[in-house]
Structure 1
């Protein structure tokens, strides 16, 4: 569990825990000129922690010039409207989910179970609508801290993306993979738009090259990160065949 407002993953790359137990994380990238890009915004309660983390790393809200969303769910977009008002940052999300960000409503799930229906009644499933300034595409390299590559990983949501920071070798999985309580897993199907695509996208992450893997749910893996991800996927595949 993190005890500081921000955890440095690599020079200029920070994880910001926004809930106890590292359950929901936001990330910050700081350029050499001081500009900051945030990845995700947490729940609607998260902006206070995010602003505190910015102060902790020596940045100001006015330094935030861009906010990228991995996908349009309330635990990632909940704080977006408030942070946009405070920072004036431009908002970017994959084109398939720009409409969701603008409406403040998440994409449909594949299996609308009773539990899923109950979840949708809780505060935080929706968010204050926000304008989108840029629609991201697969393979795009965003001009962030030397290059942040967009990896379209559909399944959890149609426009879900992972992000690979090429200079530092840090991969942000978004919700393609969780590392909750020290155990890697796929996201709950309760929240997934397409279960089969979710699994395929997780396996695609095992083929990328990276040194550190950061999770939006759970702490990062620093040592042999790619091997850890691939090991989890191998075990999952073996379990399915067994």
Structure 2
């Protein structure tokens, strides 16, 4: 069975699966004026799935007014250049990842383990470079659907961010944590600094939200904060 083109998480907040039913996700936030903000753009071939997801919401690429990237990895920023071209929307990413997005290359991965050093030898980490129009900062509130707060959660990449949509109390985790066979940290080999990623993920337990959307894994629409805090409480920083 084909995955749905878009899944409602909260009023005006939708998950758009770009690989499988939830293996890699983008998100669309709808404003009252009809405009759309995209969060993450999947791999390079993902724009077709994103456009289909928008169509299911009655939206067109021309409705997209902003593209926000949680970080500069190929499965999150790979489709950014094409979506920016199709929509004419500016791309925003945290200052720590802006240079990597502009160059179309992933930040270095954690080489503190044998697997990390081996992965560094074989990974490509390239994607189409995308011009960055805005560099995000921790605590910044974007004028998106009533307020989208930038929450710095570095470690997975130097400028990794999670996002909190305050009006609907919906958290978009980025890769700070996954929801694949349960809530878990990103694998070490995908992180720039795995220890930092684990440490900063605990910020998510201090925020106020009811729902969580994961860029890898299905959303949690009931008791999300409790589920995240339970996971964090049993794992060391």
Question: Do they superpose with TM above 0.5?
Answer: yes
Structure 2 match to 1:236: 235
Secondary structure, in 3 states, of the residue corresponding to 2:38?
strand
- Equivalent residue, structure 1, for 2:222: 223
Matches within 5 A, 1:139-150: 139-150=139-150
Q: CA RMSD, aligned part only?
A: 1.4
Q: CA deviation at 1:21?
A: 3.6
Q: TM-score, normalised by structure 1?
A: 0.93
- C-alpha offsets along residues 28-58 of structure 1, whole Å, 9 cap, x if unaligned? 0010001000000000010000000000001
Query: Is the 8 Å Cα contact of residues 4 and 21 (structure 2) preserved in structure 1?
Result: no
1:187 has 2:186 as partner = yes
After superposition, residues 87-126 of structure 1 pair within 5 angstroms as: 87-111=87-111, 112-118=116-122, 120-121=123-124, 125-126=125-126
Distance in structure 1 (CA, Å) of the matches to 2:2 and 2:140 = 32
Contact kept in structure 1, 2:43 and 2:74, CA below 8 Å: yes
The runs of at least 4 aligned residues of structure 1 exceeding 4 Å deviation read none
> 1:89 Cα deviation (Å)?
0.5
| Gap runs ≥5 in structure 1 | none
- Tell me the secondary structure at the aligned position of residue 105 of structure 1: coil
Match of 1:6 in 2: 6
The DSSP-based 3-state class of the residue aligned with 2:54 is helix
Cα distance, 1:2 vs. partner? 7.8
Instruction: With the length of structure 2 as denominator, give the TM-score of the two structures.
Output: 0.95
Contact 1:9 1:15 in 2 (8 A): yes
Report the Cα offset of residue 110 of structure 1: 1.9
Report the equivalent of 2:155: 155
The separation in 1 between residues aligned to 2:157 and 2:6, in whole angstroms, is: 27
Q: Which runs of 5+ in 2 are unaligned?
A: none
